[in-house]
Amino acid sequence: MVEKIISPAQSMTGWRFKEWFLGNWKTLKEIIKVGVPLGIGLLVTPSPYLVVLITAVGKLLLDSGEYYFSTIKKK
C-alpha cells in the first residue's frame, strides 16, 4: 500500500490553526477557567490564601455555568 505524505519532516505544510485550536479546546478552556479567576484574585488581594479561594470559587462558578448551558446525555 502506498501512503501519501501530507507533511514531510521539518515542514509545516498542512498545519492549520483552526484544527489545532479545536483539538486543544478542552485544555485552553481549563487554562481560561483557572487563569481568569487567578488574575482577578491577584488584582484584588495580596493574600495567597484569598487568591486560592477566589480562584477555586471562580472555577466553580464557571464550571457550573458551563454545565447549566450544556446538554447532558445519560449513557
Q: For position 8, what pLDDT does the model report?
A: 81
DSSP labels, 13-74: TT--HHHHHHHTHHHHHHHHHHHHHHHHHHHH-S-HHHHHHHHHHHHHHHHHHHHHHS----
Query: Tell me: the pLDDT tens digits for 16-67?
Result: 999 999 999 999 988 988 898 889 889 998 899 999 999 899 899 988 998 8
Q: Does the pLDDT value for residue 1 go beyond 90?
A: no
Distance between CA atoms of residues 10 and 28, nearest Å: 26
Q: For the chain, give the mean pLDDT.
A: 88
- pLDDT for 13: 86
What is the rounded CA–CA span in Å between residue 67 and residue 9? 41
pLDDT at 74 exceeding the cut of 90: no
pLDDT value at position 61? 92
Q: Can you read off the three cell numbers belonging to residue 26?
A: 478542552
Answer yes or no: pTM beyond 0.85: no
